[in-house]
Structure 1
Amino acid sequence: MLIKFDDYPIHQTAEPLSYAFTSERNFYARYWYNGYDFNGEFYIGIAFAAYPNREVMDGAVSIVRKDGTQESFRASRRLRGDRTELYAGPMRHEIVEPMRTVRVVVEKNDTGFECDLTFHANTIAHEEPADHMKQGVRTVAQMKRFTQFGKWEGWIVVGGKRQEISAETTYGTKDRSWGWRWTGEPERGISRDQPEQFFWLWAPLHWQDRCTHWGQHEYADGKRWKEFAQVFKTHPIRTDFDPLVESDVAEAICGAHRLKFAKGSRRVSHAEIDMLHKDGRKETFVLEPLLRYHMIGTGYNHPEWGHGFYKGEEAHTLERWNINDLDINAPRHLHMQQVVRARNGDKVGVGVLEQYITGPHERYGMKGFLDPL
C-alpha cells in the first residue's frame, strides 16, 4: 500500500512506508505531552499513537484541576495503513511545523468535551538514550525517544466549563517515542511482557532562563540501567531558531535522589535530585508537589482504554473521577506525574516529577510488588 510520503527517499526497508519493519505486535509510534499551570491550578495530559500491527490509532486528552476533578476524553479508530493521517474520531493531532508547533483538536461531539490546544516549542528536540529492557532472556522493551520543552495556549471545554490556556503561564514537555514495549490487551501465559520491577523517576523542569532534564531507571538494588541529565537553552516562542542545533543542550550527569513518601503510599511527597556538571559543579533541585495527575487518564494501565486496545472502527468516550477518591496504591494508579514547585537556591521554577515505582527497591525499604511505606 503506497502513501504520499513514499515519493520521498526516506525508506528503511524494501517495502512501502505503510509496512512496519517488524512484525512485533507491540510496535508503536507515540506523541505524548504534558501541560501545566505555573501555580498548579491544572494539569493536562495528551497522548496520540499508532500501532500498525494492531491496526489501531488512538488518542486521549485529560485534565485534572486543583479541586481533584479529572476528566479524560479518549478516541480510537481502526488504522488501515497510512500512519500520517493523524486522527481518531473527533480528535486530530496536527503537525503544524515539525519539531516547532503542534495543534491538538477535539471537535464538538456527544461527550461535551472539546479543545483546541497549540504547543509551541521553546527548546530544540533532543535525542535520549535508547531504552532496552529485558525480563529474563526476553526483550520486553526496545524504543527511542526525543524530548522537547515548550508552552501551551488554547482552551478546553468540558461539561459546559471553559478553561483558557495561556502561553504566559502554561508550561509543558513533548515526548515523542517509537519502538516496542508492552501495549494493548495483557498477554496470557506465565511470561508476561510487563516488567516485574520498575523504578522510574523523570523531572523535566522549566526555569526563568533555561530548562533542565533529569531521569533514571533503577533496578531493585539501586543500580541504574538508564540515566540522563541535560540543560537546555530556551528561546521565546514564535521566534526563528533551529530545533535541531545540538549545541543548545549541555550534557550533565544524573546524580543522586533523596525521596520522601506520603504515609501509607508510594507517592513521592518531597524530592531532592542532584545534577552534576562537567566543570565539577553540583546543583540540587528541591521539588515540592502542587498537583497530582494519574497517567491512567491518558491510557497507561487502563483496563478498558489502554494503549493500543482495539475498540472497533471508531469509538470515543469521556470518563470522570476525583483523584482524592482513588485508591492510590492500586496498580493502575501507581504511574503518576505531579506538578512541582522547583527550587535551586534562590531560583524558582516549575515542572513535573513523574514516578512509576513497582516491585522491590532496597534503599527505600520496598520489598513486595505493591507494599506501601
Structure 2
Amino acid sequence: MLSDMDETLIHQTPVPFRMAGVTDHRFFDRYWFEALDPSGEIALITGLAFYKNMDMCDGFFCLQKGHKQYNLRASRPLADDLGSSNGPLSVEVIEPFKRIRLRLGSNAHGLMADLEWNASFPAYAEDFHRTLAGRRVSTESTRYDQLGSWTGWIEVEGERFTVDNWWGARDHSWGVRPGVGGFEPPAVSKRNSLLFCWAFFSTDSYACQFQLHEDGEGNRIYFDGQLDYHLDDDRPFLRAVDVEHDISFVPGTRIYDRLNYSLKLDNGKLLTIEAKPLFRAWAYSGTGYDGGFSDGLGLGGARGQTLEYDVYDVSHVNNVLLDGKPHFAGHREQPATVEVNGEHATGHMPVMTAGPISRYKLK
C-alpha cells in the first residue's frame, strides 16, 4: 500500500498516496496530449490514466493519416505499479511544466513513436469544475492546460515521419467525472441539453484557452478562459470575460465546417476567431472513451491486462466505419486551423452537443 511518495511531507488526505481521497469509483487522474502536423498529414492524440478506486490503469494512442484513424488501447491492473506506463505506452515528465517524453514502443501493430514535448506557454489552471445530476455529484475535478511543440518521430504501417516543431497541446485532469470506471450511477433527474465549446489555440507569441457551457436554450452554465504570452515574454496574462459564438454545422450532423468566436479580454481587446477543420474530428470511441473498449466498459473499467487495436475509416465527415461497417464514433473533438484577428494559429477546437440546441436547430 505504501509508495515512494509516502516518504514526502505533501500528503493531502489521511490515507497513503496509493489510495484516493474519495470513495467514488469514478475517481481518475489523467494525462492527455495532442500533436498536429501543420501541413495536415498526421495528427495524434494519446493519454494515460489511473483509476485508483477501480485498481486500473489505461492508456490510448490514436493517429490520423489519410482519413484513417489508427487506435491502440491498453489497460492493466494498477496493483502496486504506479509507473506512468501501460503496455508499450509510457509518459516521462522530464522537467515539470517544461519537458515531457512520450514513447510508444514496439508492438504487433506497426504503430510506434518517440516524442518530446516542450512548453511554449505557461500552464493554465481552469476554474474548478463541479456539476450535479439531480442531487448527485456528476463532476468534481481540476484540469490544467498547456501549449507547446513536439519533436521526434512517429511510425505507422512501416513508414516513419519526422516530427519537427509540430503544434502541441496537453492537459492533466483529476477528480470525479462521468463516463469512467465502468458504469455510471443513475441520476434522479434527466440530463439536460448542452452546448460545450472548448478552445486551445496559439500563435507564435501567445496562447489562448477558454471553455463555454450553455444549455439548449443558450443559458450560460460555465465560462472560463485566459490568454498567456510566450514563456520568454514577461507580459501578464489576460482573462477572458465574455464570448459570442456563431457555428456552421455540416447539414444533418453535429460537426462544424466553420466556427466563429468573438472573445472579449479584460483589457477590452476583442479577438475575432475563425476555425476550420484541419483533420477529421477525432472519433473518441477509439481511445476507449464512451464505452470504446471491446467489453463496452470504457475507460477505467475492471478488466485484466488488455491491448486492443483497430483502424477506423473516417473518410466521411461524420460517419465512422470499422471493417467496412458503421461503427459508434463516441464524442467528437476537432483539430483546427485558426485565424485570430487575421493572424494564423493552430488549435484544438471541439464543439460538443447533447440534446436539442435551439439556436442551431439541432434536435
Normalised TM-score (structure 1) = 0.88
2:330 corresponds to 1:339: no
Counterparts of 1:115 and 1:152, CA distance in 2: 12
Counterparts of 2:191 and 2:161, CA distance in 1: 38
The residue type equivalent to 1:288 in the other structure is K
Q: Which deviates more, 176-185 or 108-117? A: 108-117
Aligned to 2:145: 147
Aligned to 1:69: 68
Aligned to 2:286: 297
For residues 221-240 of structure 1, the aligned pairs below 5 Å read 221-235=217-231
Give the C-alpha shift of residue 119 in structure 1.
Answer: 1.1
Counterparts of 2:289 and 2:276, CA distance in 1: 24
Kindly, what percent of the aligned residue pairs are identical? 26
In the TM superposition, what whole-angstrom CA distance separates every residue of 1:124-164 from its partner, at most 9, and x where no partner exists? 11111111111222211111111111101122222212222
Is the 8 Å Cα contact of residues 302 and 332 (structure 1) preserved in structure 2?
Answer: no
In the TM superposition, what whole-angstrom CA distance separates every residue of 1:225-260 from its partner, at most 9, and x where no partner exists? 211221111137xxxx9xxx9x75221224110000
Q: Identify which of 180, 183, 186 aligns with 1:186.
A: 183
Give the C-alpha shift of residue 265 in structure 1.
Answer: 0.5
Is the 8 Å Cα contact of residues 128 and 145 (structure 1) preserved in structure 2?
Answer: yes
Give the C-alpha shift of residue 192 in structure 1.
Answer: 8.6
Structure 1 alignment gaps of length 5 or more: 368-373
Aligned to 2:361: 365
For residues 203-218 of structure 1, the aligned pairs below 5 Å read 203-218=199-214
For residues 144-293 of structure 1, the aligned pairs below 5 Å read 144-167=142-165, 170-182=166-178, 183-187=180-184, 191=187, 195-235=191-231, 248-292=236-280, 293=282
Secondary structure at the residue paired with 2:253? Answer: coil
Give the C-alpha shift of residue 193 in structure 1.
Answer: 10
Counterparts of 1:124 and 1:136, CA distance in 2: 36
Shift in alpha-carbon separation, 1:275–1:144, aligned structure 2, 3 A: same
Normalised TM-score (structure 2) = 0.90
Give the C-alpha shift of residue 185 in structure 1.
Answer: 2.2
Q: Which deviates more, 192-201 or 151-160? A: 192-201
Aligned to 2:3: 3
The residue type equivalent to 1:136 in the other structure is G
Counterparts of 1:34 and 1:116, CA distance in 2: 14
Aligned to 2:48: 48
Is the 8 Å Cα contact of residues 187 and 193 (structure 1) preserved in structure 2?
Answer: no
In the TM superposition, what whole-angstrom CA distance separates every residue of 1:34-64 from its partner, at most 9, and x where no partner exists? 1101232221101110000111111111111
Counterparts of 2:301 and 2:252, CA distance in 1: 32
Is the 8 Å Cα contact of residues 215 and 229 (structure 1) preserved in structure 2?
Answer: yes
The residue type equivalent to 1:297 in the other structure is G
Counterparts of 1:173 and 1:49, CA distance in 2: 17
The residue type equivalent to 2:345 in the other structure is G
Structure 2 alignment gaps of length 5 or more: none
Counterparts of 2:252 and 2:260, CA distance in 1: 20
In the TM superposition, what whole-angstrom CA distance separates every residue of 1:79-116 from its partner, at most 9, and x where no partner exists? 01453x11111211111111111111121122222211
Aligned to 2:108: 110
2:302 corresponds to 1:310: yes
The residue type equivalent to 1:277 in the other structure is L
Is the 8 Å Cα contact of residues 216 and 254 (structure 1) preserved in structure 2?
Answer: no
Aligned to 1:371: none
CA RMSD of aligned residues (A): 2.4
Give the C-alpha shift of residue 332 in structure 1.
Answer: 4.5
Aligned to 1:13: 13
In the TM superposition, what whole-angstrom CA distance separates every residue of 1:58-82 from its partner, at most 9, and x where no partner exists? 11111112x2011011111100145
Between Structure 1 and Structure 2, how many residues are aligned?
A: 353
Shift in alpha-carbon separation, 1:194–1:201, aligned structure 2, 3 A: farther
Secondary structure at the residue paired with 1:291? Answer: coil
Is the 8 Å Cα contact of residues 238 and 267 (structure 2) preserved in structure 1?
Answer: no
Is the 8 Å Cα contact of residues 218 and 359 (structure 2) preserved in structure 1?
Answer: yes
Shift in alpha-carbon separation, 1:284–1:184, aligned structure 2, 3 A: same
For residues 19-38 of structure 1, the aligned pairs below 5 Å read 19-38=19-38
Shift in alpha-carbon separation, 1:337–1:194, aligned structure 2, 3 A: farther
Aligned to 2:124: 126
Counterparts of 1:228 and 1:284, CA distance in 2: 17
Is the 8 Å Cα contact of residues 100 and 120 (structure 1) preserved in structure 2?
Answer: yes
Is the 8 Å Cα contact of residues 88 and 106 (structure 2) preserved in structure 1?
Answer: yes
Give the C-alpha shift of residue 351 in structure 1.
Answer: 1.1
Give the C-alpha shift of residue 321 in structure 1.
Answer: 1.5
Secondary structure at the residue paired with 1:296? Answer: helix
Counterparts of 1:248 and 1:151, CA distance in 2: 22
Runs of 4+ deviating beyond 4 Å: 192-196, 328-332
